[in-house]
Amino acid sequence: MNPIISKRALIALSLVALTAACDKDKDKDKDESGDDAKKSTATATAQPTAAATPTATAAATAVAVVPDTGGGLARAELDGKEPDAGWSGGTLVVNKLTFTTPKDWKTSSGDFNAAVAADGSSGFAAGKYPDGAAPVSLRDAAAKAIGLTECAWGTADSISLGKDKLAAQAADGTCKRDGKPAKAIFAATAGKDMNVLAVGSFDEGKDMKPVVNTFRSAKGANVGPAVAGNTDPSGLAACCAAIRQNKASAPPMMQGAYAAAEGACFQAMKDPQGKAALGAIRGMLSMAGGAPASCR
């Protein structure tokens, strides 16, 4: 064999082998590059997409209408006010308290004496409650007498009611009449032959003056001086009414204290020197959350 040819043949074989090796490396790099791309794609695909932010939607329905608290409308329209000039009409009597209702309203009697507008859009009902009972316990029954349902009531507030400036508790309410919204006012007086609660209402959009003037016309008939607020010799009428009101919502363990304070207050209310008993009355309520503001 020619040594030159053999040497050339070896060189050629080496080049072929080297070329094959390079091609293999390229293929490997290509494969690895492809694998990396696939992994990258897979990773991107596997990543969870961000949850879509829900768009705001209108509230389904209002669960309940919250009335004004603290006797907002009731206090503003009734406290210390008398009916508009020239107010006259029928007379509605409960115990020794009288109200003047609109002359064209239809009246009825029963557990609650009532007067209702011809179209039923406004009404007023009043009745008595037993000694020692909370007037709020009969509030919905009075509302029912003038066609109200689903009433929600605000917090009662102390006011001076009617021509005789009677000590009373009053609160706002929201009700329904034939499925439509109606505004309501509750008021209650207390004292001998004066345990009277009343509810008046008017449909939304209707004039409230007939109802408001009926409340403002409240007048004691032959009431003793210890009941009518403007001649109350003891000055305790508002305090006694507030104690009775608070007793209605007091927890069971406080009922005894409120009952004792209530009895002492109404007894003292009959005495021109009744205010001297305020210290004792406040003491009875010291362990029951304290006395109402009107007793201080």
* Maximum CA extent, the chain: 154
Closest CA to 96 of 223, 186, 207, 211: 223
Write out the residue limits of the CATH 3.40.1000.10 domain(s) in the chain: 72-224
Closest CA to 198 of 90, 101, 84, 66: 101
Per-residue pLDDT tens digits for 121-130: 999 999 999 8
The CATH classification number of 72-224 equals: 3.40.1000.10
Give the per-residue pLDDT at 228.
Answer: 37
Roughly how many angstroms between the first and final C-alpha of the chain, as a whole number? 135
Give the residues of the chain that fall short of pLDDT 70: 1-71, 221-233
Six token digits for residue 104? 């064209």
Give the per-residue pLDDT at 233.
Answer: 63
Give the per-residue pLDDT at 178.
Answer: 93
Closest CA to 160 of 231, 101, 92, 90: 231
Give the per-residue pLDDT at 289.
Answer: 84
Give the per-residue pLDDT at 112.
Answer: 95
Interacting residues of 251 by C-beta distance below 8 A, sequence separation 6+: none
